[in-house]
Structure 1
C-alpha cells in the first residue's frame, strides 16, 4: 500500500527513524514499550531503504511503500538532511526504527514517543 510522503518524517541519526502517521499498517505493528529508551526489534518486519522508495514489509500482506525522494528528512547528526544520507545511515545501522503514530508530532519529544503507549513499531532490520 502506498503511503503519502506528507504522512512521513525521516530522521537521520546513528540509528535512523521513520515516523509514519495514519499508516495502514498501524494496527499490525506491535505497541511500542520502550520507557527506558531501548527500542525493541519488530519481529517479522523488514525495511528496504532506497533513494526513491522506502519499503516497510511485514508479515503476510502487511506493508507499505513511501515515495522517499518526496518525503521530508530532518537531521539529528549535524549533517545534511538528505534522503541519500538517511539511506546510508539505515544501511550502516542494519535497519531503522519505524514508529507509527496517529499524527506526526509538531515537536520531537522522544521520551513521550517511546513511553506514551500510543506509538507502534520498533527497530526494523534491513533485508540482507
Structure 2
C-alpha cells in the first residue's frame, strides 16, 4: 500500500528514530502501545527498510506500506533530513513506528506515546 507523505513524519532526535504514521490501513495490524513506564513493545514480524527515495514498513502477511521519502529531489535540506533519519535507523538497529488515527499538527511525544489510540513499537532491522 502506498502511503501519501502527508500521512508520515520521519522524526530524528532521541535514539531510536521515530516514524509517525497517521490514518493508515496498517494501524490495526500494529500492537497497542504500552502504558507509560512499561516500555515499547517490539513489533514481531515487522521490518523497516529505510531509503532516501522511499521507506518500506513491511509487516506480517499483507500488512505494510511504502512511503515516498524524498519527494523533491532538488531540496537539499529534505534530502539531508531523510538521509540523517535513515542513518539513525541503521545505527539504532531499527525504528520506533507509531500509528495514530490522524496525523497531529505538531509532534508531541507525550501525546504520541500516551494516547489510547496509539499503536506500534520498536521495529528492528532484519
The root-mean-square deviation of aligned C-alpha atoms, in Å, is 1.8
Show the 5 A alignment for 1:8-87: 8-13=8-13, 14-36=15-37, 38-70=39-71, 82-87=81-86
How far apart, CA to CA, are the structure 2 residues paired with 1:95 and 1:31? 18
How far apart, CA to CA, are the structure 1 residues paired with 2:82 and 2:38? 25
1:105 counterpart = 2:104: yes
Contact 2:31 2:41 in 1 (8 A): no
Deviation at 1:115, TM superposition (A): 2.1
Structure 2 length normalisation: TM-score? 0.87
Contact 1:37 1:114 in 2 (8 A): no
SS at match of 1:82: helix
SS at match of 1:69: coil
The answer for unaligned runs of 5 or more in structure 2 is 73-78
How far apart, CA to CA, are the structure 2 residues paired with 1:11 and 1:37? 22
The answer for unaligned runs of 5 or more in structure 1 is 72-79
Distance 1:112 1:37, change over 3 A: farther
Equivalences, count: 119
- Runs (4+) of structure 1 moved beyond 6 Å? none
